[in-house]
Amino acid sequence: MNSSNANSPAVEAAILAADIVWMRGGDQWQYVSQWGGSLAEQAIRTVYARGGVVGGSSAGCAVLGEVIYDAMNGGVLPQEALANPYNQFMTFTTGFLELGAGLLFDTHFTERGRLGRLPIFVARARADLGLDLIGVEVDDRTALCVYPDRTAVVRGEGAVTLLHRSADTQQKISPGATPFVSPLVHTQLTQGYVYDLGGRQVVSRPPNAVIPPPPGAQPAFVPLALSGSATGDADLGERRVVDNGNASALFH
């Protein structure tokens, strides 16, 4: 489906006849620009409203939120988002599908190291739109299944990472300047965890989940400047993650 047939009554009828609509990966800007305001978009909304399942992978997942990182000018690297939160690649869309109220989705999280850009997406939504979104990052071979009561279950091999503001969050974000947004609430969940998107809390854990004991005395924190190119900086933390030369180690 593209801009030439997104308003086709035949395409609309085919979508309305479906119980499941799945949008594959590719380019989310193509979805937004070619389907926005079309009969096809409205038909997808209708399927969802009557209880059908709507989902997607990669770009197809990215367009499910209330705010969409649309990649109109191409994808933004985390370091580009951190250097200038208003650079040409930081473009967003609202008003398309709008199936995930209060959410912004991103994908390929661990594989492409996208933790650096998600806080900036959340901060931009606050600064530009006044929205307090949950940024949802989904790993490859992983899904977040959202139910009508806004509980969400993690399925698959990787993790789902949720990032949102708290009452203590402060931010300073402007064009051409390094952004500041801290503290943020970070929740990372794996297979079997159930999360309440409305209450912003875990409501159920899988049977094999291990809950660590309460921490002891609060450690003394000191400011640190870490360089991604300085491998020795990995030793500055309490623990170091070693992949043993396997780039996919986190998925095993």
Tell me which DSSP letter residue 230 carries: -
- pTM of the predicted protein model: 0.86
pLDDT for 249: 61
Q: Which residues contact 50 (CB under 8 A, 6 or more apart)?
A: none
Q: CA separation (Å) from 69 to 18, 49, 111, 136, 217?
A: 27, 23, 18, 12, 40
pLDDT in tens, 56-107: 999 999 999 999 999 999 999 999 999 999 999 999 999 999 999 999 999 9
Per CATH, which fold does 64-220 belong to? Rossmann fold (3.40.50)
pLDDT for 248: 62
Specify the higher pLDDT residue, 5 or 212: 5
Provide mean pLDDT across the span 206-233: 82
* The pLDDT of residue 173 is above 60: yes
pLDDT in tens, 181-209: 999 999 999 999 999 999 999 999 999 99
Report yes or no: 116 and 79 within 8 Å, Cβ to Cβ: yes
pLDDT for 218: 74
Listed by start position, the domains of the chain span 64-220
In 59-96, which positions are buried (b, 16+ CB within 10 angstroms) versus exposed (e)?
bbbbbbbbbbbbbbeeebbbebbeebbbeebbbbbeeb
